[in-house]
Structure 1
C-alpha cells in the first residue's frame, strides 16, 4: 500500500452564505475520497463551538459573510483551533487591502470563485500537504495597487 492509499481523508468545514455554493462545494468534495465534509455553515454563528466539536483540518470559507468581518472570523478560527486548521478563502472578489490582510492572518490559500473547480481541488491538496496557494489574479491586483500607492506617495513627497 502506498502512502496515499493509507492517508486519511482531510476533515473540512465549509462556510458560505450562499446555499447553492455550499451544495456545489459539498458535492465536489464528497465525490473525492480525499475529503470528509464535517459541516456546512451559512454564517459564523456558533463557529467556536462547531470548530471544537468537529475539529476540521481545513476550513474553506468565503471572506464576505453577512454581518461578519471576515478577517476577525479568521482570527477567531485560528484561536479556536490553536492554528491547527488550515484556512482557504474562496471568494468572488478581493481588494488589495483584503489580500494583504489575509496573508498577514496566516491564510494558506486564496482562490476566486470564478476559477475552475479543478483548481479548487489543487489548492486544497497543496494546502493540506503543507503548501500555500494564492490565486495569481488576486496577488497581481494587490501588488499593482500597492505599487500605484507607492508611486503616488513618492510623487507627493
Structure 2
C-alpha cells in the first residue's frame, strides 16, 4: 500500500467480488472492545481480522503494513482521534482501506465529522453481531451507502449549504437522478432496474457524480445532497 496521494481521488475503488474474504483492522482504545470484536468477526469465515490498533496514531502505519480492506474505527481514541485517523488514511494512501466508524452514540457529531472526512458509514457498538459483520461486507463492495436512514438522521437539523449548491449545478439531469437514488441507499444494480439502463451505464454515472462533486465515496456524495437541500432530511424528504 503506497503512501502517495490517490490518483483516483473522488471515486470509490472497484467493487469487490461478493464472495471474496475481507481483511479487517480494528482500531479502538478499549482492549475489551477490541477482543470482543475480534471474537465476533472470527466467527465469520469471510472476514479476517489482520490486526488491532489501540490508538489513532497507530492506524496509519498498521494500514500501510497490513493492507486491510476495511478499518473498523472508533472515533474517540487517545493521541489521535478516529476523525483525524480517517482523514490521514484517505489523504496519504494511494489505495486507502474503507472505513466503518464504530461508536456508542448514534447521533454523535464525531461520527458526522468522520463521515465527512471519508468514512463510508458507521455502526453502533451495541448492534447485533450480524449487523456489524454485514456493515463491513457492505462497505467493502463500494456499492451502496451504509444505513442511509442513519446518515439522513445525522444530517437532519443542519442548515442547508446554499454555498455548496454550485457543486450540484455541474451534474447532468441524469446524474442528479442517480444521486437521489444513491441517497435512498440503492445499489448500482437496483438503480439500473429503476432507470432501465445497463449496470455499466449506472457505474459510469456514479463515477461521474463522485468525481464532479469531489466526493471520496458514496456517503460523502449523499451528505452533500442533504446539505445542499437536493434531498430532504424529513421522513418523506426524498
Within the candidate set 25, 40, 44, 1:28 is matched to 40
1:123 matched to 2:132: no
Q: Distance in 2 between matches of 1:83 and 1:139?
A: 28
Q: Distance in 2 between matches of 1:138 and 1:92?
A: 16
1:93 matched to 2:100: no
Q: Deviations over 1:66-103 (max 9, x none)?
A: 23232211111223432530000001125564343223
Name the residue aligned to 1:133. Answer: 146
1:146 matched to 2:149: no
Q: Deviations over 1:94-125 (max 9, x none)?
A: 55643432232221121121222221112111
Cα RMSD after superposing both structures: 2.3
Q: Which region of structure 1 is more displaced relative to structure 2, 54-63 or 130-139?
A: 130-139
The one of the two structures with greater contact order (alpha-carbon pairs below 8 A, sep at least 6) is 2
Name the residue aligned to 1:107. Answer: 119
**Unmatched 5+ stretches in structure 2:** 1-16, 160-238
Name the residue aligned to 2:74. Answer: 62
Cα distance change of structure 1 residues 66 and 51 upon mapping to structure 2, 3 Å threshold = same
Name the residue aligned to 1:41. Answer: 53
| TM-score w.r.t. length of structure 2 | 0.53
Q: What count of residue pairs does the alignment treat as equivalent? A: 142
Cα distance change of structure 1 residues 65 and 35 upon mapping to structure 2, 3 Å threshold = same
Contact 1:110 1:135 in 2 (8 A): no
Which structure has the highest strand share of the two? 1
Q: Deviations over 1:37-69 (max 9, x none)?
A: 110111123433221110111000111112323
Contact 2:57 2:79 in 1 (8 A): no
Q: Distance in 2 between matches of 1:23 and 1:112?
A: 16
| TM-score w.r.t. length of structure 1 | 0.77
Name the residue aligned to 1:150. Answer: none
**Unmatched 5+ stretches in structure 1:** 148-157
